[in-house]
Chains A and B, each alone.
Chain A
Amino acid sequence: MKQLMLGNEAIARGAWEAGVRVSSAYPGTPSTEINENIANYKEIYSEWAPNEKVAVEVALGAAVSGARSMACMKHVGLNVAADPFFTATYTGINAGMVVVVADDPGMHSSQNEQDTRLLGRASHAPVLDPSSSQECKDFMKRAFEISEEYDTPVILRLTTRIAHARTLVELEDRVLPELREYKKDIKKYVSMPANMIGRHKVVEARENRLAEDANNMPELNRIEWADRKVGVVTSGAAYNYVKEAMPEASVLKLGLAYPMPRKLIEEFAAGVETLYVIEDMEPFYEDTIKAWGIPCSGKDKTGVQGELFMHKIEEKFLGAEPAAPMNTQDIPNRPPVLCPGCPHRGLYYVLGKLKLTVCSDIGCYTLGALPPLSGVDTCVCMGASIGMAHGFEKARGAEQAKRTVAVLGDSTFCHSGMTGLLNMAYNRSVGTVIIADNSITGMTGHQNNPANGKDIHGDPTTALDIVKLCEAMGVASVRIVDPFDLKETEKVLKEEVARDGLSVVISRRPCALIIKQTNKPVVNDPDACVGCGMCMKVGCPAIIKTETGIRIDPTQCVGCGMCAQLCHFGALKAAE
């Protein structure tokens, strides 16, 4: 039976068919739907981990113990998980282990354009690179076989256009391998230097064996001979664009991105007059092929930024006219915004009013950087807000610290904020950390997390007590405010940033999309409105400036009433 499946759904299906027993992940676009779909298969134990490092360690433990296992994350998640992963390739696994990593060329929802194939090579892990949902499923199953045959964790790398494309998939049944026997093996699983010196030799031999075998894996690496004038080495989403832009060309499609099949590539190169390498992101194949002394080109024409697309290939390789400029430069942009009723809006309004330097973090609240709130100074990676605020203080002294705050969400705090806060407590920081606790992991589409008391299935579980945790670390003052109470939030923040010691303010109100709203629009009295523009400072998409004053858009307003607190003239009132 065929089904139309998202790439991420097909990954989950492949895992189920391959007999996976354990899956651990931290949500991150474009990978989130993988574990969400895994959670629908009752035969698989699935969980949200606090971060990707933990997820990989869970998967490794499950694999070493004898069960097929997986972890999923976005590309930058593998940086967090790199520590266990780079040694897991030395220890090897027992039952198969696959780490699914989703790259984001074009940065649709990411902070960089990191190429996971490079981390595969750096860690000596095989990397698979599918081009369709069918391949997502097939490669997932093949990845487990490779993992077990070569005793290594395997990376299955996706890109946004594969993870978030729906294409047809042929479904098959689940085949559940027996649990493998777990045998204590100190020389293999204990990463002391003396043991790992031996293991590194194993890694090198295994990698060489797989590189040789990759020449004869047509289900992954295949030559599609056509006209011999031009040959293209490609993979992943780029393969799809090449097939449409250059239907005449011969193509070598690499399903196994690393290690690369040298003999197959040499055979292909020898069979064509001109060799192009067309790949998303870094010149990963191209650099290696050139290093083997085979003339080829690609990145000199496309560069490494952004996505490829069919027309870009036609233009750069076939001399097609550049696409006409999008004739819409003169119309307003539509950037994403904090939702109507969003609790972060109140917090950022107060931070702006107090003119504080804000080291922010990764989450919905990063949108507080956009006008009119413009309330963010820095945002780098999960948890960086706390470390950077501490760095500001240590470089410029306590007075700077009293003008600086760190802002991060509840899920981000659990992910990598806790150790930063411990560092502040330990190293006598004078600073204020604001945990914007909206009881959910918001930006990725509302996943539960360790602080909200619900597991991946929505069932009740232990909830982290953030107040107690901060107190236990030695934070001098921990206070909770409702960010919709603007006066109280302002008062508390003023007091806490002035404090000669470390403080945490928990700005606590659930995400506007997970609670029932009144949906009774705020009432606007145009006669009372003096046009002062105070209500416009919060950047709510439901408040619209008109020539005579303002208007509330009833299709947008959820009735939170925060704007009414800002109106000194009684022109805005929460609905009765």
Chain B
Amino acid sequence: MFNIVIVGVGGQGTLLASKILGVLAMNNGYDVRVSEVHGMSQRGGSVVTYVRISNDKPLYSSIVEQGQADVVLAFENLEAVRALPYMKEGGTMVINTQEILPMPVITGAAKYPDNCLERARAACKTVEINAVEIAHECGTYKAANVVLMGVLAKSLPFSEEEWKKAITACVKPKFLDVNLMAFERGFKY
């Protein structure tokens, strides 16, 4: 059983990431629970998506709770810190090292912490990657989510072929090449 939490800012493509994971696990005979966020929280606010997959224990809840996450995929540095309580002991956090300033910081009411990555490193094992830059090199910064899928692939028991099959099933054919390249770059990171 694996519990994965995907955190980021509304509009960063966290939903595609959870969809790929869900399809991948289903194709490989796993039971799947995915919980998504829609509506108000999508307008530039913090978003959290949970993915639970299992081929042994039965799954009921679609929520990953505090201290239960094997892997946290953080699309943004501040959201990485916010998600630290989800980490299970020995778990890994994959961080896309991007900073998106929230409104209280923009208006000067709060300060963006300058030690987000240090806090994450102190709390758990981290893999830090500038996925936006790598995705940009592949053709579009929008494929940053799939670069992160490539990094995540190393923590999950599925073959590279199976990952590519799931990506092919989830992205528009027009963007497939870019996304497969983005996945490989993440996988080799």
Contact = CB atoms under 8 A, between A and B. Distances in A.
Interface of A: 2, 4, 6, 29-30, 32-33, 108-109, 131, 161, 164-168, 239-241, 243-244, 309-311, 323-324, 326-328, 330-339, 364, 367, 370-372, 443-445, 536, 539, 541, 543-545, 553, 555-556
Most buried by A among B18, B65, B112: B65
A256 B37 CA distance: 27
B90 interface: no
A335 B102 contact: yes
Given A332-B102, A541-B101, 11 more contacts: A6-B36, A243-B60, A310-B65, A326-B82, A328-B85, A330-B113, A331-B78, A334-B78, A336-B42, A443-B40, A444-B39
B33 to A, nearest CB: 6
A367 B35 CA distance: 25
Nearest to B36: A164
B140 to A, nearest CB: 13
A241 B62 CA distance: 9
Nearest to A545: B108
B104 A332 contact: yes
A171 B34 CA distance: 19
A2, A164, A371, A553 interface centre (most CB from chain B within 10 Å): A164
Contacts of A338: 43
30 contacts: A2-B26, A108-B37, A161-B62, A165-B34, A166-B32, A166-B35, A167-B33, A167-B34, A167-B62, A168-B26, A240-B60, A240-B61, A240-B62, A241-B60, A244-B60, A309-B63, A323-B67, A324-B66, A324-B67, A328-B85, A331-B113, A332-B105, A333-B102, A333-B110, A334-B45, A337-B103, A339-B44, A371-B103, A443-B40, A555-B141
A486 B113 CA distance: 35
B23 interface: yes
Contacts of B67: 323-324
A4 B23 contact: yes
A166 B37 contact: no
A332 B38 contact: no
A328 B39 CA distance: 24
A74 B141 CA distance: 36
Interface string B1-27: 000000001100000001100110010
A399 B174 CA distance: 60
B184 interface: no
B66 A326 contact: yes
B41 A108 contact: yes
A334 B37 CA distance: 15
Indicate the member of A131, A336, A541 with the most B CB atoms within 10 Å: A336
B39 A443 contact: yes
B41 A109 contact: yes
A327 B87 CA distance: 12
Contact of A543 (B46, B82, B106): B106
Nearest to B34: A166
